[in-house]
């Protein structure tokens, strides 16, 4: 829906997507409240040691770089093709972006615990334009837990995916006494400050995405230096014979690091029986942890039985928390837990990609629309359970496409038109 300036836009989440969206809105003259419950780019820093899949130029925007150059003449951007770690990217760009003049006064350390319409319930004015005229009501909790009410004309949910997915069979909690800690999810710094925890140990890696691939490849590098290191890699499905391994390969992948990572992991799986045992079509039934001792796992499926390990890496993608939408008129894909229009867009693009950038932008803009007017989901959360595949480039495309709607101008593109060369 077209929204005139200086309307109030509430943006939830000061990660890479929320920061870029807030900057874009501020340049266009909108009033912005940017809420962050933790620290800037917190999700990025959870795997801060990992090298970003995209180089500096693709991970940042011309608008953001120009803002930092204008803010501080001493600021120097890395080389366009620099491959930075997530921590380096946050230090060099996102933290500084949050402190620039246009955003510093917008950013609030606070948690938005609920979003609704003033005086309305979800079922009121069902798909009725009268909802547009009713402001959003946000319940906001500050760092001390004190709650207050804020209002906005437009809301962007850029909070990302932060719910840990259970490790057990069927996507449910595993039996036993083995509640996994946050430390056992995600990507530990295997070749850095966590080296001693994994060297010479037997580690179970569960998952078939890029996070699992990164863990397996790094553990294999560690095993080359510490021959007693062992890896068991478990995936719930059988690998595609055409791929030759569990990690999906994208034809003509524009991200060389992603393609190389998948290739290396699949090659390790194909050599199962050496330092690595690859167990496809296998499910975790129960996890039993001995105090300060080994971890016993019961498996079902192709490799049913019990095995003991020293470490677990649950490299399963996090899930979206859609509870924030409980009073929004949202259609949610039953498979992806993403907004249904975006899930349909992803399916169509997989089956028959848009022939050119202009038609893709139009289709993407339509996919960002929800039955709830002026409420938008951006970033990895918009892709639901496929959120681990989301890239910086996808984020920038979403922001441009969204503001063609809000700004009511199909050709509006601040990244291309205002700062084309920086």
Q: Is 160 exposed, middle or buried (0-12, 13-18, 19+ CB in 10 A)?
A: buried
Sequence-separated (6 or more) residues with CB below 8 Å from residue 344: 333, 367
Domain final residue pick, 314, 343, 373: 314
34 and 109 housed in the same domain = yes
386 and 413 housed in the same domain = yes
352 and 300 housed in the same domain = no
Question: DSSP states of 384-420 as a string?
Answer: GGGGGG--HHHHHHHHHHHHHHHTT-TT--HHHHT-S
Neighbour tally for 92: CB within 10 Å: 20
28 and 111 housed in the same domain = yes
301 and 326 housed in the same domain = no
- Can you read off the two tokens belonging to residue 321? 């928390």
71 and 173 housed in the same domain = no
Q: Does 2 map to a domain?
A: no
pLDDT at 308 over 80: yes
Sequence-separated (6 or more) residues with CB below 8 Å from residue 96: 68, 71, 72, 75
291 and 348 housed in the same domain = no
Q: Does 297 map to a domain?
A: yes
- Supply the pLDDT for residue 422: 42
21 and 158 housed in the same domain = yes
Q: Does 105 map to a domain?
A: yes
Q: Does 283 map to a domain?
A: yes
Give the domain extent around 122: 8-162+318-417
Q: Does 258 map to a domain?
A: yes
- Supply the pLDDT for residue 417: 57
Q: Does 422 map to a domain?
A: no
- Supply the pLDDT for residue 96: 97
Backbone angles phi, psi at 334, to 5 degrees: -70, -20
31 and 121 housed in the same domain = yes
Distance CA 203, CA 184 (A): 11
| Tens-place pLDDT, residues 172-185 | 988 886 677 778 88
Instruction: State the pLDDT confidence band at 421, using cuts at 50, 70 and 90.
Output: very low
∠ CA 366-402-71, rounded to 5°: 165
pLDDT at 418 over 60: no
283 and 363 housed in the same domain = no
35 and 61 housed in the same domain = yes
Q: State the pTM of this model.
A: 0.94
Nearest CA among 168, 239, 230, 180 for reference residue 200: 230
Domain at 207, CATH number: 3.50.50.60
Query: For the chain, what is the domain count?
Result: 2
Q: Does 396 map to a domain?
A: yes
| Rounded mean pLDDT, 149-177 | 92
Domain final residue pick, 282, 314, 346: 314
| Tens-place pLDDT, residues 228-280 | 999 999 999 888 776 778 998 877 888 999 999 999 999 999 999 889 999 99
Q: Does 1 map to a domain?
A: no
310 and 357 housed in the same domain = no
pLDDT at 24 over 80: yes
Domain final residue pick, 271, 288, 314: 314
């Amino acid at each position: 829906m077209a929204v005139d300036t200086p309307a109030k836009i509430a943006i939830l989440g000061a990660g890479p997507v929320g920061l870029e969206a807030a900057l874009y809105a501020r340049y266009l003259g909108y009033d912005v409240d940017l809420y962050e419950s933790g620290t800037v780019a917190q999700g990025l820093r959870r795997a801060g040691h990992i090298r970003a899949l995209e180089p500096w130029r693709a991970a940042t925007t011309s608008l953001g770089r120009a803002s930092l150059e204008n803010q501080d003449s001493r600021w120097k951007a890395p080389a366009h093709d620099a491959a930075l770690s997530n921590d380096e990217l946050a230090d060099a760009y996102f933290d500084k972006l949050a402190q620039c003049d246009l955003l510093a006064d917008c950013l609030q350390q606070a948690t938005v615990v609920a979003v609704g319409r003033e005086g309305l319930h979800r079922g009121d004015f069902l798909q009725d334009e009268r909802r547009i005229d009713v402001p959003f009501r946000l319940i906001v909790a500050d760092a001390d837990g004190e709650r207050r009410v804020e209002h906005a004309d437009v809301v962007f949910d850029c909070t990302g995916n932060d719910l840990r997915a259970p490790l057990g069979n069927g996507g449910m909690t595993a039996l036993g006494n083995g509640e996994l800690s946050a430390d056992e999810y995600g990507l530990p710094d295997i070749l850095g400050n966590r080296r001693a925890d994994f060297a010479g140990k037997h580690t179970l890696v569960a998952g078939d995405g890029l996070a699992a691939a990164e863990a397996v490849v790094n553990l294999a590098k560690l095993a080359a230096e510490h021959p007693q290191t062992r890896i068991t890699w478990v995936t719930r499905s059988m690998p595609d014979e055409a791929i030759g391994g569990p990690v999906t390969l994208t034809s003509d992948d524009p991200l060389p690091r992603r393609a190389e990572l998948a290739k290396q992991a699949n090659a390790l799986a194909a050599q199962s029986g050496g330092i690595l045992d690859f167990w496809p079509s296998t499910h975790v039934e129960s996890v039993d942890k001995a105090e300060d001792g080994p971890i016993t796992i019961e498996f079902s499926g192709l490799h049913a039985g019990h095995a003991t390990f020293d470490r677990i890496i649950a490299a399963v993608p996090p899930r979206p928390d859609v509870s924030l939408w409980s009073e929004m008129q949202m259609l949610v894909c039953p498979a992806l837990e993403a907004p249904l229009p975006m899930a349909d867009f992803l399916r169509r693009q997989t089956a028959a990609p848009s022939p050119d950038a202009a038609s893709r932008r139009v289709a993407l803009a339509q996919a960002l629309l929800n039955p709830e007017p002026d409420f938008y989901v951006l970033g990895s959360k918009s892709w639901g359970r496929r959120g681990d595949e989301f890239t910086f480039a996808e984020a920038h495309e979403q922001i441009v496409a969204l503001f063609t709607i809000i700004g009511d101008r199909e050709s509006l593109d601040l990244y291309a038109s205002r700062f084309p060369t920086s």
